Amino acid sequence: MQETKYNISQGNMISKKVILTGSFGVGKTSLFNQFIYNKFSDKYLTTIGVKVNKKVINVDGNDLSLLLWDIAGEVSQDKVPTSYFLGASGIIYVFDLTRPATFRNIEKDIQYLNSIISGGVIKVVGNKVDLIDLQNKEEILTQVPYDVDILTSAKTGENVEDMFSLLGKNLIS
């Protein structure tokens, strides 16, 4: 008889869909690659469509399977199919700390995202923290018109794991 394969449970792990969104070139794919593969590349390759991958994290002793959807740049409705966001339990909104244009529309974007996934968890993340010094950091954060949850660097890996852990905690609480 031919051998067949189907999923066997190891515990009671929950699966959640999480979307990475934000403007072009803010480092969504770099955060995705740093988190999934522990890799970073200086080359900029624009994401075509969407890329899906999975990582299991442990939150307070519970395994949580995060299905990450890395969506090609832009947040607006006319550029990205709304259906990509459907069924998402969490959204990571990424902006680039060195490019004010990437956080100028943050309020409007978050409002739009909240309307798509009502009740979902949205985390606002300032990426490329390795490119700014302490003094600039304070100044830039005063310009961001929204509360920033965490600052990360996909390049050095700073706060990347913490960012997903923070999201994971909110997802299962």
Partner 1 sequence: MTIDENKISEEEVHLLKIKEILLKEDREELSILRKKLEDEEAFNKRLTPYIEKHIEDLKVNFPDQYNEMVSKIFDEKLMNSRQEIIDLLSPSIGIMIKKYISMQFESLKEGIDNQVKNTFSAKTWKTKFTSKFYGVKESDLILKEMDKYQIQEVYLIQRNSGLLFGSASKSVNLDQDVIAGMLTAIKSFAEDAFQQGAQDLDMIEYGTYKILMQNFKTYYLALAITGSLSAADKDEISNNVLSFADRYLGKSISNIDEKIMEEYSKYLNEHFINTNARNQI
Does 28 interact with partner 1 (rule: CB under 8 A)? no
Binding part of the chain for partner 1, among 51-59, 122-130, 137-145, 154-162 by CB under 8 A, reads 51-59
SS3 letters for 60-123?
CCEEEEEEEEEECCCCCCCCCCHHHCCCCCEEEEEEECCCHHHCCCHHHHHHHHHHHCCCCEEE
Rounded CA gap, 154 and 27, in Å? 7
**Binding to partner 1 by residue 87, rule CB under 8 A?**
yes
Question: Which of 41, 76, 82, 114 touches partner 1 by CB under 8 A?
Answer: 82
Q: Is 54 near partner 1 (CB under 8 A)?
A: yes
Which phi and psi (to 5°) does residue 37 adopt? -110, -5
Asked whether position 69 contacts partner 1 by CB under 8 A, the answer is yes
In the complex, the residues that contact partner 1 under the rule CB under 8 A are 1-17, 49-50, 52-54, 65, 67, 69, 81-84, 86-89
